[in-house]
Amino acid sequence: MKFDNSKKLYEEAKKMVPGGVSSSIRQTEWPVPLFFKSAKGSKMTDVDDNEFIDYVMGMGPNIFGHSPDFITNSVYQDMQDGFCLTGQTKKENELSEFVEKTLPFKRKVRYASSGTEIVQIALRLARSFTNKNKFLKFEGHYHGWMDSVLYNSHPDVSSEETLFDPIAESGGISKGTADEVVIAPWNDIEALKNILKVHNDISAIITEPILWNSNVILPNPGYLENLRKLCNQHGILLIFDEVGTGFRVALGGAQEIYGVEPDLSTYAKSMAGGFPIAMLAGKPEIMDYMSNGNVVHGGSFNTNVMSVSAAHATLDYLLNNEDFYKSLNKNGDILIKGLKEVAKKHDIDILIQGLGSVFYLSFTNLDSIKNYRDHANNVDQEKYREFSKLMLLNGIRLSQNGRWHMSSSHDISDIEITIKAAELSFAEL
């Protein structure tokens, strides 16, 4: 497999764009960040005419695969009458009505363009509503790249002494933001209780209800329920960051699976089948702080015609195809089973966690991973990166962080080819 054209384009890009890419995570791809010319269904084709079965799927959004016809047709039709209107459309109202049908709890909603943006307005609302300044986030969780939240998503875990210290994940982050964030270990309710005894000025606790960013870790039984109780006891708003899990793990997201009601929830990724849109859903009494003048939120591209059209088509499809998630998870489970079998055949220790629609493959001898520190201390990430290189050479595109995203376009043939590629790759490790 040759990558000559991608390498040439990458060298050109580096002369114009810092690192040659427009997202830091892409810079570490092997052999270089690939340049693509087309993507349809489960497949992508690069500029060297290499075809790959894709499990990156936009890092999650492409739940139907690449360029599904029912979305592209809807977007094309709607944009003929304009697209950046900076105003409302009837379809936006219809989208909100679809949302109301999908979410398990009664909510008002607000739209933006990215998950990072929508988290910021959620935290702003929490501060205004509670009149408290700090918020608590969990180690290993990711809530966007803004200064206020980019702490302890991938911290050094060599010392237990740093467990609760806010550690900035980038240079240039405002030092003042560290005073506004409290860090806690996830999936440990007793540790959280002790932290809340010390801090009485926390406006919100924000959490990925399923730890999406570091492995794909499910909450311990009763953890989210106890988290809800603690927030009630301390007058703290509970925010579920469902940017990754929303409309992917179930129609109603992780909230539907676990039956726990947050005060605010953030959504993006799978909501529009690959188009950029984000949504905040919250209790009316909190959300109304944006209508009474207390909290400001804006954006020229919010509810642009293309994104609304894509989200409208996505939710319409999901609402009218009740077996969608059952089928998606079934195919994912078949793939997981096959990967485990060929790893065992070659005496390779792996752990696969998550759900059929999204899962994480770890090179580890642990039977389970419960939090970020389990992941950071026990997963051989270098071995996974080598595995992902071998898989690419065998025609399978994986994210280098270990998370796999299924789509409804992945069929049994794709799964069989993927399992065979994994067997060949395991044999070379």
Active site (catalytic) residues:
142, 241, 269
Angstrom distances, CA of residue 302 to CA of 89, 195, 347: 12, 37, 51
Q: List Cβ neighbours of 289 (8 Å cut-off, separation of 6 or more).
A: 125, 128, 129, 295
From 135, 145, 188, select the one nearest 163 (Cα to Cα): 188
Residue 395, helix vs strand vs coil = coil
How many C-beta neighbours within 10 Å does residue 399 have? 19
User: Residue 196: enclosing H or E segment and its boundaries?
Assistant: helix 189-198
Distances (CA, A) of 77 to 69, 96, 307: 12, 20, 13
Distance separating alpha carbons of residues 127 and 109, to the nearest angstrom: 18
Q: 33 is written with which tokens?
A: 């960040």
Give the H or E element holding residue 51. strand 51-54
Helices and strands (DSSP H and E) totals, the chain = 13, 14
